[in-house]
Amino acid sequence: MMHRMYPAVLILSCIGALLVSMIPLFQGVRILVLLWFMLVCPGLAFVQLLNIDQPLIELSLSIALSLAIEMMLALIMLLLDRWQPQQALLALVGITTIGTLIQYYSVNKPTRMNSTLRQANSNE
């Protein structure tokens, strides 16, 4: 049941991260929202594609993948001499959104194997 909520949580987290980065709020709220977004969301958007049934492993992989994505993004921006934190956040929101859309459509789209299994079961 929780897996169905992940795309909505990820998209709302993207919106929240953009809002707190643009609108001056209490520093504590900004830190919590951005920490949640940057630590979990980019990785969770892609880890969900692995269909892992253990939440702790899923969370650990999400954090590790998020940090790896952010490290690669920061390295690329530094090597290109284009370091701007606001653009980095926009890139992370874009990466998370793309991963969420891939996740949403791969879960909700019937695969060839699923349709073949349904046809085989209906013929029996």
Taking Cα atoms as reference points, which of 48, 30, 38 lies closest to residue 74?
Answer: 38
Torsional sign, CA 37, 74, 94, 62: negative
Give the pLDDT band (50/70/90) at residue 19: very high
Contacts of the segment 68-74: beta carbons below 8 A, 24+ positions apart = 68/43, 69/42, 69/43, 69/95, 70/38, 70/42
Q: Residue 1: pLDDT band by 50, 70, 90 thresholds?
A: very low
| Mean pLDDT value across the chain | 86
Write down the pLDDT at residue 105. Answer: 84
As a whole-number percent, the residues of the chain with pLDDT over 90 amount to: 60
pLDDT at 112: 53
pTM of the model: 0.80
pLDDT digits (tens, 9 = 90+) for 83-123: 999 999 999 999 999 999 998 888 665 555 455 545 555 65
Q: Which residue has the higher pLDDT, 25 or 62?
A: 62
CB 68 within 8 A of CB 92: no
Distance CA 34, CA 44 (A): 15
